[in-house]
Amino acid sequence: MQSIGRTRTQSRPSRSVNLGGMDYPDPKRKGNFVGKVALAAIMTTVCILVLKKSSFNYATPMIQFSMREEGVTHVLVTGGAGYIGSHATLRLLKDGYRVTIVDNLSRGNIGAVKILQELFPEPGRLQFIYADLGDAKAVNKIFAENAFDAVMHFAAVAYVGESTMYPLKYYHNITSNTLVVLESMARHDVRTLIYSSTCATYGEPEKMPITEETTQVPINPYGKAKKMAEDMILDFSKTSDMAVMILRYFNVIGSDPEGRLGESPPPELREHGRISGACFDAARGIMPGLKFHSQVKGTDYKTHDGTCIRDYIDVTDLVDAHVKALEKAVPGKVGIYNVGTGKGRSVKEFVEACKKATGVDIKVDYLPRRPGDYAEVFSDPSKIRNELNWTARYTDLQQSLKVAWRWQKAHRDGYGTPSVMAS
């Protein structure tokens, strides 16, 4: 199988973006009005050419992605420019899959896509399409122009604290956008869905560990929106022969062991982001400490040290679970699995591990708990172990944080590329 290291561009709003550089000479400045108009016209033309470059340069890869090829599985990865989605894309490409990333870059990083394209530059392997899943026409066009065999649906806003502040945003981004994806899958006969869900759908169960049979009573908009999306998927699966896998995973940490990818959230979301990112920011002096981070709030929970207990899963293990789910997906069947280590760690324990991993004595000021949070959550991974032969391997919390810290130190400015584009 061959691969593509560059991208193709479609008309707005679903356009692919070329990531290769183009050198254009600067036109000479002229002091008169005509010169300024000419300059503006030239720059406008340059912008159009950059956005449409692939439409006349890469016709062959376009054909490869639009046709099914024996022995090649073409996977659409929504949110593939994000932290988890980019790691999943890397694993899929390593395993020989053909991948199309669709991402609006509101939370993802174009730099991550560029790295993936540099790693897999051959035609027919990887393409990136800039689009918003909330645009039904754009999504339908993407499905019409590409021969997808399966969808890994990662794209979603995913911060509990933020969801309590902007609930409607979460219902739209998670629930409504999943409906758009399902409708396009049905319309274009794409029959395999791997859905990235969350343990937040369980809420705060009375009994630990959490099994797949634990009653789902989410207590924040993030968990509620994810459960609604799950319900839609399950209802639709009853009237189709779709192969569905729903993975409810726990708190994600770590990064690519070879240092190619990492986590680089937008600066404005650091307060709502993962506690590992906040620890690293504090260790690098970007933040004065951890008192501003949402997950370090609360010391009055009913746990052994008063702080929240979570099940931390390494991103490498998480994407391995997604690939195994894809391999085991069966038409007309639904699989629902918890993805975790089966062991809970408190926030205080996590911070101590982060201090050791970074070698920095991170200052921590515990503030009152945040709304919509819960005291203790960890999984029982027995079902996924028995049915998919999956077991978490990267369970050394300090080592996972050490690997992630290496990437953070080497990429102080993240991927070094702005994660925003014109929309």
Helix H, strand E, coil C: the string for 273-339 is CCHHHHHHHHHCCCCCCCCCCHHHECCCCCCCCCCCEECEEEHHHHHHHHHHHHHHCCCCCEEEEEE
Q: Which two tokens stand for residue 93?
A: 């490409």
Sign of CA dihedral 216, 243, 379, 225: negative
Q: Any idea which residues carry the catalytic annotation?
A: 222
Rounded alpha-carbon distances, angstroms, from residue 91 to 148, 234, 317, 330, 360: 18, 27, 11, 21, 32
Q: Is there a cis peptide before residue 13, judged by omega within 30 degrees of 0?
A: yes
For 282-300, the pLDDT digits (tens) are 898 877 767 545 556 778 8
For 69-110, the pLDDT digits (tens) are 999 999 999 999 999 999 999 999 999 999 999 999 999 999
C-alpha 224/C-alpha 234 separation (Å) is 15
What percentage of the chain reaches a pLDDT higher than 90?
67
| Residue that wins the pLDDT comparison between 161 and 13 | 161
Give the up-direction half-sphere exposure of residue 171: CA atoms within 13 A in the CB hemisphere.
Answer: 9
Q: pTM, whole model, 2 decimals?
A: 0.83
Q: Predicted confidence band at 250 (pLDDT cuts at 50, 70, 90)?
A: very high
Q: Indicate the range of 53-67, 123-137, 212-226 predicted with least confidence.
A: 53-67
Nearest Cα to Cα of residue 311 among 345, 353, 272: 345
Asked if residue 352 lies in contact with residue 399, where contact means CB atoms within 8 angstroms, the answer is no
DSSP string of 37-81, one letter each residue: HHHHHHHHHHHHHHHHHHHHH-HHHHHHHHS--TT--EEEEETTT
Hey, which of 17-21, 40-44, 366-370, 374-378 has the most confident mean pLDDT? 374-378
Entry field: residues in the chain: 423
Region 301-305: mean pLDDT is 89
Q: For residue 354, give the amino acid letter.
A: C
In the three-class reduction of DSSP (H, G, I as helix; E, B as strand; rest coil), residue 24 is classed as coil
pLDDT score recorded for residue 21: 34
Neighbouring residues of 349: CB distance < 8 A, sequence distance ≥ 6: 305, 397
For 374-415, the pLDDT digits (tens) are 788 899 999 999 999 999 999 999 999 999 999 999 998 899
Cβ-in-10-Å burial (0-12, 13-18, 19+) of 56 comes to exposed
Q: CA angle 422-132-220, nearest 5°?
A: 115
C-alpha 334/C-alpha 330 separation (Å) is 8
